Structure formats: C-alpha cells, structure tokens
Amino acid sequence: MATDAAPNSRDFHLSPKLPMLLGHRRLPETIVEQIIEICFVLVQLVFFCVEGAIRALLPSGVLPRKSVKDDVVLITGSGSGLGRMMAVRFAQLGAKVVLWDVNEKGNLETAKMLKEYTSHVYPYTVDLSSSKEIAAVADRVKADVGGVDILVNNAGIVTGKKLFDCPDELMEKTMAVNTNANFFTAKAFLPQMLEKNHGHVVVIASMAGLSGVAGLVDYCASKHGAVGFAEALSAEVSTLGRDGVHVTTVCPYYIDTGMFDGVKTYSPNLLPILQPDYVVDRIMEAVLTNAEKLYMPRFGYICVAAMSILPSKAGRLLSTHFGVNKTMDEFKGRNAPTRAA
C-alpha cells in the first residue's frame, strides 16, 4: 500500500494537522480546518499571481541570476538563428556548449564562432526527426562530454502551407522535430539532472502553441504539443521533489530570423515582429532566473489570459481584429523547412 511521502523541507505547516496543500495530505476533518485551508490557498494564490506579474514586467538584469560557468549546455538547432545566438551567449558565460543540428556546415560555423570564448565546444550532426539517431548521438555526448546540465530544445521547422497543400511527409516531420524530439532528448539527459538535483530543460515553443493560426495547422499542432510536453514535464519533476531541476517554456511571436520570411503583423504596436537580439536577451534572462514561462512580446501574457477565459467566438473576433489569421498570407520562408525556433 502506498504511503504519504515525507514532507519537503520547503513545505509550510499551519499546524501538525494542517500541512500545506502541495504534496500528499489527508483531507481536513472539520469545517474550521476546511475554511483555514481555503484561506491559506487564497493567500498563496494572490501571492503567486502578484509574483508572476512582477516577474513578467521587470526589465532584464534586475533579478539575481544563477551561474552557468562550467555547466554543460546542449542546444538543438544550433547551426543558425536563435540556436547559434544562444550558443554564443552561453559560451560567453563560461559554459561548455554541445551543438546539435542536422546542418553540419552551419553547425561547424557556430562551433568556430564559439572558439573565441571557450575551448569546450562539441558539435554533432543530428537528425532530430529520428528517435534512434537522438539516442545514439546522446550516448556519444555522454561518453565524450558527460552529463548535460542545461538542455535547450530549440530546433524546429515550419512548412507554412495550409492543411490540404502540405505533403504528408512534411507534416509528419514537423511533428517529429517540433514535438517528438522533446521526448527523446529529455529521456536521454534528464535522468542525470534528477540524480544530481541540478539541471534545466528549456523548450522553445511559440505563441502558435497557445492558439490556432490559419496557414499553420501542422506548426500550431506541433507547438501545442511542445507546450503540453513542457507543462507535463514540469509537473512530473515537481512531484519528484527535485527543486534543483527547472523547466522553462518559451513562447515567442514571429521572429525576424528568416524562418518566417514574408509574414506580416497587422498590430505592430502590440504584436510586433520580434528582433532576434531581444528574443535571446529575454530567453537568457528566463533561463538564468529559472522562470517557468516566457511569452513575447509582453502583450502575449494578456492574450493568453484573455483566450483562456473568453468564449471561442470572442477569441476569434479578437484574432480577426488583430489580423492574426492574415499574417501567413504572404509567407515565403526559406527554400525548405528550416531549423530554428
């Protein structure tokens, strides 16, 4: 028979009979206990809402940052775009950087750039649509470098085609790279993080993973999967009591990296096309301060809150007002599905 887990050292107790709601506990026996617990939960709820709002609004550099010096950071999709930029930032902070990309030439170029900051650079050519290849290369990394402390699941592809115009194999590859690869990289590297109670999994998803956009059916589905993966993984890690292992979900709007070349925004003040430097600044801030979620631009927090409580028709009305479903009408992208976030 299962027994209650030992209380975490961070748990707060009102009394021996009133343990904090987090974790296992018995049900309150009296109306007084129920009222006290409800009040306690409400106080925590207000505190966490205020804390989250403050974190979302604070400029970068205010919150204390953790050190990543000598940490092993693995970044997928490191051969270009955000992946390359994040690799440079981590190298500048003294991390050992493992580079994963299917584009061998681009990945080696990134490795060459990082040599200016560190000698600990390890490039690998990996097809992230293949679970077997992920497992095989992960074993090589663990043999060559050791365990990974920070895993950044950044690789992604976009077809930019409407559902009936998109070849089946491209839809399957979109799901494999944008969603499924998260499962297999985490299975490869998370166990060592849990064992050491030290680590971080970062999932570069998208605002398209929180709502639907015309012309991005396969991409939205894949990014919804990435968001769900990150949220469920965070819950699993929390139940294990590993407070030294963190999960961060990043959901940006369109980024000016070439991946979404041709997209337009019809609300540039509220939903601008994001500049890569700004996005990387915010991602690094989120990782170094152990933020759980990051939406960009900041108006995204309001969008997410509104879409979660509004009726579907009201949500579609706002999407139409902001021109969201016209953003892909002039999409060009690159010549082929691209690795980036």
The crossing angle, in degrees rounded to 10, of helices 81-92 and 276-288 is: 50
Residue type, 214: A
Nearest-angstrom CA–CA distance, 168 and 259: 20
Tell me which residue of 154, 156, 268 sits closest to 216, measured CA to CA: 156
Query: Quick check: bond before 59 cis, omega within 30?
Result: no
- φ and ψ of 18, to 5 deg: -125, 70
Residue listed under structure tokens 């010096």? 69
The tokens describing 202, both together, are 């970062």
> Beta-carbon neighbour count of residue 314 at 10 Å?
12
Rounded Cα gap, residues 324 and 327, in angstroms: 5
253 is catalytic: no
| Number of residues in the chain | 341
Quote the CA–CA distance of 208 and 169 in Å, as a whole number: 21
Q: Is residue 148 within 8 Å of 98, Cβ to Cβ?
A: yes
- Cα 22 versus chain centre, distance: 24
Distance CA 94, CA 120 (A): 9
Residue that has been written with the tokens 């209380």 in this structure:
7
SS3 100: strand
Q: Give the alpha-carbon dihedral of 92, 98, 102, 103, to 10 degrees.
A: 40
Phi, psi dihedral angles at 248 (to 5 degrees) = -120, 130
Nearest-angstrom CA–CA distance, 156 and 173:
10
- Candidates 219, 253, 295, 301; catalytic one: 219
Q: Which parts of 123-261 fold into alpha helices (H)?
A: 131-144, 168-175, 181-196, 217-239
Q: Which of the residues are catalytic?
A: 219
